Structure 1
Amino acid sequence: MIDHPPSILIVDDDEDICENMADIFTDLGFDIDVAHEGRTALELVRGRPYDVVLLDLKMPGMDGLSLYREIKKVQAGTVAFLLTAYAGGSTAGEALAAGASQVLAKPVDLPLLLRLIDEALDRPLVLVVDDDDDLCLNLWDLLREQGYRVCIAHDGRQAVERLRTSTRVVLIDLNLPDRDGADVCRQVRESNPASQVVLITGHRAELEPKIERLQAEGFDAICYKPFDLPELLGTLERLAQP
């Protein structure tokens, strides 16, 4: 479970629904923000991390599915629940295929939603730091299927911005575009000593001396590209244990 009050962004063009849900979640100890349309929601997402977003599927302008796709580009580790009064159709399937956690019917069954939120936040959070977009997306899909929440950063600056105190495991490429991956590893370890750090690289022979130095500093594991997937998943399973 995360070690700060869980943050939730509620997005719905029905102001009464937003107010009622915000009151309920605030009383339960959640940190709540509200938006009534997609543009405002995206501004909020770009300004701070959210653990969960609750998105109305049908809204004027940007619908909930389109909004989630934009949120995923900014904060891939945010868990999304889409809420809809319109049962059936292909949109729910599209939302799940895009990575949303659940599509729930309105009026919302609050005990069910709370249980699903608790279950989602209990999943270990993994931060993948690599400038290869395709690799990050593939890992996002793979690790999500294995029950992880996955956040993505493409350089050292993003890694530091997106690191949360609840991040269980950080996968860091040693060749990043803006700074030495080894320095990012050290910064992650200093800012969040509880995180388990896995070094990743496709340049095994070239970086062997650096890898040996980092391992001597106490970093937790190294995985080489192209990944041996059973080895990678086994390493994550071992390090993600509380």
Structure 2
Amino acid sequence: MSEPPPNILLVDDDVDACRNVSDILGDLGYRVDVAHDGPAALELARGRPYDVAVLDFRMPGMDGVTLSRHLRRHNPGTVALMLTAYASHDTAEAARTAGTWRVLRKPVDIPALLGLIGEAVGQPLVLVVDDDQDLCENLRDLLRSRDFRVCTAHDPREAASRLAEARFRAVLIDMKLPGGDGHSVFRAVRSTDPDARTVLITGNRPETDPMITEALSEGADAVCYKPLDPPELLALLERLVGACPPQSR
């Protein structure tokens, strides 16, 4: 089965600029949606997960930084690029705090923008399934530091929804979850996305060891024990999916 085209969201109140970039991206095989303000962009994001969002910094009603924060909460796997004619250290810092990956100065260097979109789309997409929301957020920040894209889910039902939305290079699965367990999530991954690499996570070894043994016999790739060792986890994921080392910002 062929890979679906990457989904790109363009948000800018400059209609002509959006049309120009949208046409170029469409010719390159991307699927592109366009919005001219933040609320319209959020409405689109509720119906479709985007691989990359290209956001204007200054728009009426909702600026790009605020929009980036909303998009990050809705779908943390979206890589946000910020465009601004008001580039400064404060602007860049606010954008990074909101989860933006790169900031580009207007007028936009189209080849540079296309290169960054291509690079962002190529970043491995990882799903973290754990009911500890603080841990999920910490793992997201850790993995983003190595240019992984990261989605999160907190129970088996949410994990199933994420798996239906996108194809993942790797899935990290806590074995003890509300409303089910990690073994059921592992089997859902094997059923819906069999090429995804799977890492089992547990802090309850006596209780979860039988599930881990069974999942490993069914093809799970590795086990990590809580408290997680960040360098060890990064090294494991880079071995499994071949991520690139971090680049200078």
Q: Same fold (TM over 0.5)?
A: yes
Q: TM-score, normalised by structure 1?
A: 0.94
Give the conservation status (yes or no) of the 8 Å contact 2:66–2:98: no
Aligned mates of 1:8, 1:230 — CA distance in 2: 32
Secondary structure of the corresponding residue to residue 207 of structure 1: helix
Give the conservation status (yes or no) of the 8 Å contact 1:3–1:165: no
Secondary structure of the corresponding residue to residue 151 of structure 1: strand
Unaligned runs of 5+ in 2: 244-249
Give the conservation status (yes or no) of the 8 Å contact 2:8–2:52: yes
Q: Which amino acid aligns with 1:60?
A: P
Aligned mates of 1:28, 1:237 — CA distance in 2: 28
Aligned mates of 1:231, 1:84 — CA distance in 2: 38
Q: CA RMSD in A?
A: 1.6
Deviations 1:43-69, CA, capped at 9 Å, x for gaps: 111111111001010011111000000
Aligned mates of 1:102, 1:134 — CA distance in 2: 24
Give the conservation status (yes or no) of the 8 Å contact 2:129–2:153: yes
Map of 1:67-106 to 2, 5 A cutoff? 67-106=67-106
State the match for 1:239 in structure 2: 240
Give the conservation status (yes or no) of the 8 Å contact 2:75–2:151: yes
Q: Which amino acid aligns with 2:183?
A: A
Deviations 1:190-217, CA, capped at 9 Å, x for gaps: 1011000111111012211121111111
State the match for 2:144 in structure 1: 144
Map of 1:155-170 to 2, 5 A cutoff? 155-163=155-163, 166-170=167-171
- Decide whether aligned partners of structure 1 residues 165 and 60 sit closer, same or farther in structure 2, where only a CA change above 3 A counts: closer
| Residue 165 of structure 1: how far off its partner (Å) | 5.2
Q: Which amino acid aligns with 2:153?
A: A
Map of 1:129-208 to 2, 5 A cutoff? 129-163=129-163, 166-208=167-209
| Residue 89 of structure 1: how far off its partner (Å) | 4.9
Aligned mates of 1:106, 1:162 — CA distance in 2: 34
Q: TM-score, normalised by structure 2?
A: 0.92
Secondary structure of the corresponding residue to residue 207 of structure 2: coil
Unaligned runs of 5+ in 1: none
Secondary structure of the corresponding residue to residue 237 of structure 1: helix
Instruction: Answer with 90-99 or 8-17: which moved more.
Output: 90-99
State the match for 2:228 in structure 1: 227
Q: Which amino acid aligns with 2:80?
A: A
Matched residue pairs, number?
241
Instruction: Answer with 150-159 or 28-37: which moved more.
Output: 150-159
Secondary structure of the corresponding residue to residue 172 of structure 1: strand
Give the conservation status (yes or no) of the 8 Å contact 2:10–2:34: yes
Instruction: Answer with 105-114 or 81-90: which moved more.
Output: 81-90
Aligned mates of 1:101, 1:67 — CA distance in 2: 14
Secondary structure of the corresponding residue to residue 189 of structure 1: helix
| Residue 231 of structure 1: how far off its partner (Å) | 2.4
Secondary structure of the corresponding residue to residue 205 of structure 2: coil
Q: Which amino acid aligns with 1:235?
A: L
Secondary structure of the corresponding residue to residue 3 of structure 2: coil
| Residue 176 of structure 1: how far off its partner (Å) | 1.6
| Residue 23 of structure 1: how far off its partner (Å) | 1.4
Instruction: Answer with 74-83 or 88-97: which moved more.
Output: 88-97
Aligned mates of 1:184, 1:95 — CA distance in 2: 34
Aligned mates of 1:17, 1:234 — CA distance in 2: 41
Deviations 1:103-154, CA, capped at 9 Å, x for gaps: 1111110100111111222221111111111101110111111221111112
Aligned mates of 1:11, 1:89 — CA distance in 2: 22
Give the conservation status (yes or no) of the 8 Å contact 1:56–1:82: yes
